[in-house]
Amino acid sequence: MSEPRTAMPAPGGWVYRALDVVERIGNKLPDPAILFLLLMLMVWGASWLLAGVSFSELDPRNGKPISIRNMLEGPSLTAFMAEMVRTFVNFPPVGVVLVAMLGLGVAEHTGFISAVLRAMLSVTPRKLLTPALVAVGVLSHVAIDAGYVLVVPLGAVIFHAAGRHPLAGLAAAFAGVSGGFSATLFLPSSLDPLLAGLTQAAANLTDPALVVNPLNNYFFTTASAFLVILVGWFVTDKVIEPRLRATAIDGDASQMPQMDALESAEKRALLWASASTLLALMLLIASALPESSAWRAPGGDLAVAKAPLMQSIVALIFVLFLIPGVVYGYVSGHAKCHRDIVTGMSKAMSGMGYYLVMAFFCAQFIYAFGQSNLGALVSIKGAGMLKELGLPMSATLIGIILLSSVVDLVVGSASAKWALMGPIMVPMLMALGVSPDLTQAAYRVGDSTTNIITPLMPYFPLVVVFCQRYVKSTGIGTLLALMLPYSLTLLVTWTLLLVSFWAFGIPLGLGASFLYPPH
């Protein structure tokens, strides 16, 4: 097959022209790490300008009129330097993400996650191929970005082998992996503790004692997974595939990737790994059931923030992926000795270098934002404006979702966006009585739904190349046209789902609430 042609086709309407503008603007934005540095410098400058201004708003933490602390004064600068290392080391998302990644890294390195995905798709009836593929895309989030390089091209392979248009399979897989990025099909992903850590850091600007459970959106994101599957199934079969009937497949079949069946050793290893996971879960449940269990809080509750079980969520994610990863590796022969297990952990950590750089600057920005009291001032004034508008809660939630979806078009990283928006949105809505759990859930909806239509998403160009294996003329516009129906449908239906959770009081997750302070 000839080299993939990556030039973008001529715009075909106002949607493409608008996205061209978004792409040009987005490409001019600095790297997220530098963006946080610039924002921190802006906070310093704003604190210097506003330090002598008197405000009538009362600080809810002490009941006194709020005042801005000049971060360019000598004591503030020296305190900033003295606390720099502690600020970074104690930044909530850092530890939780790195620990979770250790277990996930082993499971991915030994091939356990890949084997699970291939096994699920190999036994799926043809009529259920689309929903199964979308479901596997959602499930792939436990391996962070593995879904983009594994499930998306696999979707095209499976559809092509079944006599269906490969681009339809690719679109369905992409919708599950990226469009449903904030959905969790029973298994939590590393995004849960990452966002919860950022939410806690933002909430602590107002309430230093508040603890956010890493699974605070678990029930909502699990329900969201089924919504994403149904939407993906309908849009693929009723909208995308009929539209592709006139699109010829002109790629070189000999160069197209193939879906390898599980070998006997891999099947045996998968069986042992699944059994080990089941045994570990049974032991965990058995140890948590007794009223006197050490997993429970002093009052005997399990689903409260102070319960050791809730405080161990990240550690349990680590263990429950480490065990099957190790078992699968040894039984399949992919891991020969303990050094292979350590290699898997090391590879996972080596891929976190950029995240740590971004987290360092993010932590310093949030520290400066909080110490200057600018965060509290913006939150209190913003809450006052919202209160005067008198918008119903449903309208407020829709506003957060739409804002997140627009920002997603120019900032690709979910954690970077929330690190930017969280310190403002979370305290502001806490002042209106909205819990950080609900604000985070609204953000996750907006963040996921436009992932699949922004060329600035890091994996978007890669998906274009996958398409070109089958249809050589594929460009960015082709992929946008494929994914836009998924994006719009998910935005509407997922928003309605969150509003329904709030309207009917359905719990968002473990230890979560709708109101602040919780009632």
Q: Does residue 61 register a pLDDT over 70? A: no
The DSSP secondary structure of 297-311, one letter per residue, reads -TTS-SSSTTSHHHH
Say which DSSP state 246 is in: G
- Report whether 439 contacts 425 (CB < 8 A): yes
Percentage of the chain beyond pLDDT 70 is 82
Say which DSSP state 186 is in: S
**CA-based nearest residue to 158, from 168, 150, 169, 147:** 169
Count of other CB atoms within 10 angstroms of residue 308 = 13
The least confident of 25-29, 121-125, 246-250, 467-471 is 25-29
226: CB partners within 8 A, 6+ apart:
none
Count of other CB atoms within 10 angstroms of residue 356 = 14
Of 17-31, 48-62, 478-492, the range with the highest mean pLDDT is 478-492
27-41 pLDDT tens trace: 566 766 787 788 899
The least confident of 169-173, 393-397, 507-511 is 393-397
pLDDT at 384: 65
- Report whether 103 contacts 322 (CB < 8 A): yes
323: CB partners within 8 A, 6+ apart:
273, 276, 277, 280
First-to-last C-alpha distance (Å) of the chain: 63
Write out 96-128 in H/E/C secondary structure: HHHHHHHHHHHHHHCCHHHHHHHHHHHCCCHHH
- Residue 52 sits at φ, ψ, to 5 deg, of -95, 5
pLDDT at 292: 87
**Position with higher pLDDT, 195 vs 145:** 195
> Cα separation of 454 and 176, whole Å?
16
Q: Collapsing DSSP states into helix, strand and coil, what is residue 515?
A: strand
Say which DSSP state 63 is in: S
**Position with higher pLDDT, 387 vs 372:** 372
**CA-based nearest residue to 407, from 352, 462, 445:** 445
- Amino acid residing at 508: L
178: CB partners within 8 A, 6+ apart:
147, 148, 448, 451, 452, 457, 459
**Position with higher pLDDT, 9 vs 34:** 34
327: CB partners within 8 A, 6+ apart:
269, 272, 273, 276
Q: Does residue 379 register a pLDDT over 80? A: no
What is the mean pLDDT of the segment spanning 274-289? 93
What is the mean pLDDT of the segment spanning 269-285? 94
pLDDT at 3: 36
What is the mean pLDDT of the segment spanning 47-75? 82
E strand residue ranges, 194-275: none
**pLDDT averaged over every residue in the chain:** 81
What is the mean pLDDT of the segment spanning 330-349? 89
The structure tokens listed for 299 are 């009052």
397-415 pLDDT tens trace: 888 888 888 777 755 566 6
Say which DSSP state 245 is in: G
Q: Collapsing DSSP states into helix, strand and coil, what is residue 337?
A: coil
Counting runs of H as helices and runs of E as strands, what totals does the chain give?
A: 23, 0
316-338 pLDDT tens trace: 878 988 999 999 999 998 888 88
450-471 pLDDT tens trace: 888 876 566 776 777 778 878 8
> Cα separation of 453 and 502, whole Å?
28
Q: Does residue 77 register a pLDDT over 90? A: yes
- Residue 47 sits at φ, ψ, to 5 deg, of -65, -35
Percentage of the chain beyond pLDDT 90 is 27
pLDDT at 221: 94
Q: Does residue 6 register a pLDDT over 60? A: no
- pLDDT band, very low/low/confident/very high, at 421 (cuts 50, 70, 90): confident
> Cα separation of 278 and 445, whole Å?
31
Distance of CA 405 to the CA centre of its chain: 13
The structure tokens listed for 48 are 């210097």
Count of other CB atoms within 10 angstroms of residue 70 = 17
The structure tokens listed for 130 are 């689309």
- pLDDT band, very low/low/confident/very high, at 8 (cuts 50, 70, 90): very low
- pLDDT band, very low/low/confident/very high, at 259 (cuts 50, 70, 90): low
Count of other CB atoms within 10 angstroms of residue 485 = 20
- Max Cα-Cα span within the chain: 74
Q: Does residue 302 register a pLDDT over 50? A: yes
- pLDDT band, very low/low/confident/very high, at 233 (cuts 50, 70, 90): very high
Handedness of CA 326, 331, 336, 338 (dihedral sign): positive
- Report whether 172 contacts 133 (CB < 8 A): yes
- pLDDT band, very low/low/confident/very high, at 250 (cuts 50, 70, 90): confident
The structure tokens listed for 125 are 């009836």
Q: Does residue 253 register a pLDDT over 60? A: no
pLDDT at 323: 94
- pTM for the whole structure: 0.65
Q: Which residues pair with 58 in a beta bridge?
A: 65
The least confident of 61-65, 264-268, 326-330, 456-460 is 456-460
Q: Please compute, for residue 40, the number of CA atoms within 13 A of its CA located in the half-sphere on the CB side.
A: 20
**Position with higher pLDDT, 468 vs 2:** 468
- Report whether 106 contacts 341 (CB < 8 A): yes
What is the mean pLDDT of the segment spanning 414-423? 74
What is the mean pLDDT of the segment spanning 339-361? 83
Q: Collapsing DSSP states into helix, strand and coil, what is residue 434?
A: strand
